[in-house]
Amino acid sequence: MNTIQFENVLPLPLKDTPLQGDVWKTTLVLDRGKRYLVKAESGKGKSTMLNIIYGTRKDFEGTVIMGQVDRKIGDAELSQIRSNKIGYLFQDLRLFGQLTALENILLKPGCVFAVSEIEYYADLLGVKNQLYKPCSKLSLGQQQRIALIRAVSQNFEWLLLDEPFSHLDLANAKKAIDMIHGRAEKLNAGIIATSLGDDSVFEDYTLIQL
């Protein structure tokens, strides 16, 4: 998947909204290896865009072409893509509160991290002590860092980050983005991130306006 191409895509809920951005109802080509920041106010469809790429939203017109392949695929291939090709940090994190942080990461299909690697990254982000606690006992900021480690624990060609640092202070966000960039460069992956406001950590990102 060297490119992700949006062709006249329009989410059905945005049908009656006036549009002038770079994504909806136009052509947009994203290249693997580059970093993109999607900026917009709430309700303009940032998460929708990521969900359309990830295949969790199908209520849209137009076509999304990913490396010459149309998005209409079977369940097995979808699972392959989600396990090996696209990593995703969900805005609502989607951790299982009843499982420990470590279990949450190990549960991820396609996880290539050994427990020692997970501990290394958790140490980097300052959550090593939280790994063996149930996620329900963690603060939102700690949960977000666990979810980040889970997102990069698999191999990926693209990494989708939906407001990745919304619960982190700048210092922690910087540590996190360093980890993300390290993994993405190693895998030569593209990054598509969304953000609401402060984007001082997204220095060299190509801006996409919605």
Partner 1 sequence: MLKKLLLAKSKPAQLLVAILGAFLGLVIIICGLQVYRNMSTLLAKKDLLSGDYIVIGKKVGIMNTISGTTPSFSETEIKEVQEIPGIDKVGSFESGNFRASMELSGKMAEMAGQAFRTDMFFEALPDGFVDIDPDDWKWSENNNSVPIIVSAEYINLYNSAFAKTQNLPVIPESMLKSVTFNIKLIGNGQVEIVEGRIAGFSQRINSILVPKAFLDYANNKFGDGQKKKPSRLILHSKDPASPALSVQLKKSGYEMNGEKLKSSELNGILQVLITVVSIVGVLIVFLALLGFMQYNQLMAYRSAYEIQTLHWLGYKIKELSKPYIQFTFITVFGTYILSIIALFTAQKFFSSWLVSKGFTEDLPGILPSIGLGFVISLLMALISSLAAHRQVKQLSV
Q: Are 28 and 184 in contact (CB under 8 A)?
A: no
- Closest CB 115 distance from partner 1, rounded Å: 15
Among 24, 60, 90, 202, binds partner 1 (CB under 8 A): 90
- Closest CB 76 distance from partner 1, rounded Å: 6
Q: Does 72 bind partner 1 (CB under 8 A)?
A: no
Q: Does 96 bind partner 1 (CB under 8 A)?
A: yes
Q: Does 71 bind partner 1 (CB under 8 A)?
A: no
Q: Does 94 bind partner 1 (CB under 8 A)?
A: yes
Residue 162 and residue 135: Cα distance in Å, rounded?
A: 20
Site track 129-168 with partner 1 (rule: CB under 8 A), x = hit: -------------------------x--------------
Among 29, 69, 107, 115, binds partner 1 (CB under 8 A): 107
* Nearer Cβ to partner 1 (35/150): 150
Q: Are 164 and 144 in contact (CB under 8 A)?
A: yes
Among the listed residues 23, 30, 40, the one whose alpha carbon sits nearest the alpha carbon of residue 195: 40
Among 2, 3, 8, 98, binds partner 1 (CB under 8 A): 98
| Vertex 104 angle, CA 102 and 109, to 5° | 115
Taking CB under 8 A as the binding criterion, the range among 8-16, 25-33, 53-61, 112-120 that sits at the site for partner 1 is 53-61
The DSSP result for 28-57, as a single string, is EEEETT-EEEEE--TTSSHHHHHHHHHTS-
The separation between CA 19 and the C-alpha centre of its own chain, rounded to angstroms, equals 24
Q: Does 91 bind partner 1 (CB under 8 A)?
A: no
Q: Are 184 and 159 in contact (CB under 8 A)?
A: yes
Residue 75 and residue 80: Cα distance in Å, rounded?
A: 9
* Nearer Cβ to partner 1 (67/96): 96
Q: Are 186 and 155 in contact (CB under 8 A)?
A: no
Binding site for partner 1 (CB under 8 A): 54, 56, 58, 75-76, 79, 82-83, 88, 90, 94, 96, 98-99, 103, 107-110, 154
